[in-house]
Amino acid sequence: MSETKVYRQQKFIKPAGATEILLIRHGESRAATEDDPFPLVNGQGDPELAATGREQAQQLGQRLADHAIDAIYVTNLRRTHETAAPLCKLKGMVPNVMEDLREVHLGDWEGGLFRIMAHQEHPKIVEMREQQEWGKIPGGESNAELDARVTRGLNSIVTKHPDQVVVVVVHGGVIGSVLSQATRSEPFAFVGADNASISHLIAFNGRISVRRFNDTSHLSTAISAQVSMPT
């Protein structure tokens, strides 16, 4: 009697030539106050990490210390540099800067004012959330503008790193843009990734496969339902 052939479920295999991306949100940055606005870099708020954010960066570095990594990218804003620093030290690597992956430009509400308006439930914040459009912020960058530069920046990285693993430390709004475009979801479906979380992507032939979103197992075993807006 011939043996019955069985067909097991196939596991995902990264295609040859694909780029593996560990997309990381920076650690928690310092709180905003009305009397001590964030310094600006090219018109965008540039706060340093809070003590909690520095601890998150250390935990992130330990999580990835033994992971194969070919390159590390940050933005032009210091909170991404400070988040990547412990991992870079452990790996003996120098991060590359990809300015196109900087946070959403918040227009008239830069320097920490956006956070204050969000806590106060300003009508424009409510409108922004209901319509899922960053451009509702006075003078702010639109979804279309954000998506275009984020796509340009990420594609530049992917082109340089076929068959490699790259760590890309960015911002909450940027993660929302990347994943909403990859999944064709609502614009804000992935806005609110936790600080120092890891989202795992595979980029190949102009498409992005989402393998994991908002992995924070290196920070806590708890499942969090708290929402954190970008910046």
Q: Is the residue at 116 inside a domain?
A: no
Q: Is the residue at 119 inside a domain?
A: no
The per-residue pLDDT for 136 is 98
Q: Is the residue at 228 inside a domain?
A: no
Q: Is the residue at 129 inside a domain?
A: no
Which domain, by its residues, includes 30? 19-104+142-215
Both structure tokens of 144: 């279309």
Length of the chain, please? Answer: 231
Instruction: Kindly tell me if the per-residue pLDDT of 228 is higher than 70.
Output: no
Q: Count structural domains, the chain.
A: 1
Q: What is the pTM of this model?
A: 0.93
The per-residue pLDDT for 3 is 87
The per-residue pLDDT for 103 is 98
Q: Is the residue at 87 inside a domain?
A: yes
Distance between CA atoms of residues 13 and 97, nearest Å: 30
Instruction: Kindly tell me if the per-residue pLDDT of 225 is higher than 60.
Output: no
Question: What percent of the chain has a predicted confidence (pLDDT) above 90?
Answer: 94
φ, ψ for residue 148 (rounded to 5)? -65, -45
> Which tens digit of pLDDT belongs to each residue from 141-181?
999 999 999 999 999 999 999 999 999 999 999 999 999 99
pLDDT band at 1 (very low <50, low <70, confident <90, very high): low
Instruction: Kindly tell me if the per-residue pLDDT of 229 is higher than 90.
Output: no
Q: Is the residue at 92 inside a domain?
A: yes
Tell me, what CATH number does 148's domain have? 3.40.50.1240
Q: Is the residue at 172 inside a domain?
A: yes
The per-residue pLDDT for 140 is 97
Instruction: Kindly tell me if the per-residue pLDDT of 116 is higher than 80.
Output: yes
Instruction: Kindly tell me if the per-residue pLDDT of 227 is higher than 70.
Output: no
> Which tens digit of pLDDT belongs to each residue from 11-63?
999 999 999 999 999 999 999 999 999 999 999 999 999 999 999 999 999 99
The per-residue pLDDT for 112 is 97
> Which tens digit of pLDDT belongs to each residue from 65-103?
999 999 999 999 999 999 999 999 999 999 999 999 999
What's the mean pLDDT in 109-136? 97
Question: What percent of the chain has a predicted confidence (pLDDT) above 70?
Answer: 95
Q: Is the residue at 204 inside a domain?
A: yes
